[in-house]
Homo-oligomer: A and B are copies of this chain.
Amino acid sequence: MINDDVLEDIRARIAEREELGIRGLAERLGPADWADIVPRLDETEIAALLEILPDSEISELLGELEPEQAADILETLETDQAADLLEQIDPDDATDIVAELSSEDAEQILQAMEPAEAAEIRELLPYAQDTAGGRMTPAFVAIAPDIRADDAIAMLRRVAEEAETIYYVYVLDPQEKLLGVLSLHHLVLTRPSTPVGDLMVADPLRVQAEADQETAARLLVDNNLLALPVVDDQDRLLGIITQDDIADVLEEEATEDIERLGGSQPLEMPYRVASVPVLVRRRVGWLLFLFLAGLLTTQVLVSFQSRLELVPALTLFIPLIVGIGGNVGSQTATTLVRAIGIGEVDIRDAGWVMLKELATGLLIGLILGLAGLLRGGLAAGLQIGIVVALTILVLTIWSSGVAAVLPLILRKIGFDPAVVSAPFIATLVDATGLLIYLTIAGLVLGAL
């Protein structure tokens, strides 16, 4: 992250329209620095900055911002300038930005662009952002199988500027179907007259354009590739997904999982740009659902009301006990959801996972139960201490078991296991925890 001093320096220079100083700074700042600085400037400052910076710097900067932010900036510009800037951004990033514009603005800007570049964007627009098609770029290098290695290198020299990566070259048949791939280092390290058809790796890994972006990212990562070809249902090469997209994809997917685990719907946008109404909408649904589920606790307490009035000391431990159930469940569920998410366990593992978690729950229940015996005994006598201890033991095992098996089942029936969030599991074991508590109290105290 850029520190405050640099930011203040830039602000001061913008305020004084110090063109040379800003351009000098711009040359030293990397793309990620801009992505950090621009959202912290106000509208007037951004407008001034855009006047000062050369177009090449602006397009680099736009490519690094979140698409929403870049679209907001483009909308403040003249159509022609916006079109010129978009032409200089990688088509996959440019498409994400255009997707955020109103369809009217988008059409105007696309009309003003060079036809070839506008066509690339129009081709990418239909693919949802979170699919392989939405992540791919059409800027790949393709050749026919009968071209010689040295001619291929000569061709690479011509297209190096345009292509997203020249480390892989794709070999296509006349119908644009994918035959094979070869890497720049194979080209360079071979006899110049070899036809590329002899050099290529035939039938390389590929994904369908409709495939989930996470599937594509995992294929790239698991096979240590620099780029992955994306094909249509006729096996024609549409584009490639490159390594530099992977970090974004993995980060996006982890963020979604984390937000779900926290008990809300994923924001699907950076926190910074999420407005208060968006935050409320993403959160309130789950909260209302959990509120309704939480009403069960009230029912349990109503049905045991006479017992609670008879032994008021029982009330004192209610929040503590439901809290423990929730905490234990949250630990187990979170660990399991992540293990499922990265493909480490699935439903076939349910057996040993359950055994492992029940054993862990038993040991933890013994430790916490002892603590509960001490505290309950000191506060309200040995009998209450025993009730608290036994409840903690049973609840810990129960909560571990539910939290272990629920994410596996959800995944099996096609749901995202991350909906078993900490709040979800806590709410789920609240009512059952009370039931266990008050039942054990009845048995131990004989106060039926």
Residues of A within 8 A of B (CB): 1, 4, 30-32, 35-36, 153, 156-157, 160, 166-167, 184-185, 188-189, 217, 221-224, 226, 243-244, 246-247, 250-251, 254-255, 257-259, 261-264, 267, 270-272, 276-277, 279-280, 283-284, 286-288, 290-291, 294-295, 297-298, 301-302, 305, 308-309, 312, 315-320, 322-324, 326-328, 330-331, 333-339, 342-346, 348, 356-357, 359-360, 363-364, 367-368, 371-372, 375, 379, 421-423, 426-427, 430-431, 434
Closest 6 pairs (CB-CB, A-B): A262-B334, A422-B422, A32-B222, A297-B319, A254-B254, A327-B423
Chain B residues within 8 Å of A368, by CB: 284, 287-288, 291
Pairwise interchain contact A284-B346, C-beta atoms closer than 8 A: no
Q: How many Å from the CB of A69 to the closest CB on chain B?
A: 12
Chain B residues within 8 Å of A251, by CB: 250, 254, 342
Pairwise interchain contact B367-A331, C-beta atoms closer than 8 A: no
Q: How many Å from the CB of A191 to the closest CB on chain B?
A: 11
Chain B residues within 8 Å of A356, by CB: 276, 279
Partner among B262, B312, B327, B331 whose Cβ is within 8 Å of the Cβ of A427: B327
Q: How many Å from the CB of A418 to the closest CB on chain B?
A: 9
Chain B residues within 8 Å of A359, by CB: 276
Partner among B189, B243, B423 whose Cβ is within 8 Å of the Cβ of A331: B423
Tell me, in angstroms, the Cα distance from A316 to B184 when the chains sit together: 71
Pairwise interchain contact B324-A326, C-beta atoms closer than 8 A: no
Tell me, in angstroms, the Cα distance from A367 to B285 when the chains sit together: 10
Q: How many Å from the CB of A352 to the closest CB on chain B?
A: 9
Given contacts A184-B185, A262-B333, A323-B294, contact A284 B316 (CB under 8 A): no
**22 contacting pairs across A/B (C-beta < 8 A):** A30-B222, A35-B222, A224-B244, A226-B243, A243-B243, A250-B250, A258-B337, A263-B331, A264-B335, A267-B335, A271-B336, A279-B360, A283-B328, A283-B331, A286-B331, A288-B371, A290-B327, A294-B323, A295-B375, A298-B375, A319-B322, A331-B423
A263-B422, A319-B431, A323-B427 provided; 8 other pairs, C-beta below 8 A? A166-B185, A188-B188, A250-B254, A254-B254, A259-B335, A277-B363, A284-B364, A297-B319
For A252, give the chain B residue with the smallest CB separation.
Answer: B342
Pairwise interchain contact B327-A360, C-beta atoms closer than 8 A: no
Tell me, in angstroms, the Cα distance from A344 to B269 when the chains sit together: 12
Tell me, in angstroms, the Cα distance from A357 to B323 when the chains sit together: 24
Tell me, in angstroms, the Cα distance from A357 to B284 when the chains sit together: 13
Pairwise interchain contact B363-A280, C-beta atoms closer than 8 A: yes
Pairwise interchain contact B343-A1, C-beta atoms closer than 8 A: yes
Chain B residues within 8 Å of A272, by CB: 339, 344-345
Chain B residues within 8 Å of A427, by CB: 323, 327
Pairwise interchain contact B263-A261, C-beta atoms closer than 8 A: no
For A244, give the chain B residue with the smallest CB separation.
Answer: B224
Q: How many Å from the CB of A305 to the closest CB on chain B?
A: 7
Pairwise interchain contact A308-B317, C-beta atoms closer than 8 A: no
Pairwise interchain contact A301-B316, C-beta atoms closer than 8 A: yes
Pairwise interchain contact A160-B189, C-beta atoms closer than 8 A: yes
Pairwise interchain contact B271-A345, C-beta atoms closer than 8 A: yes
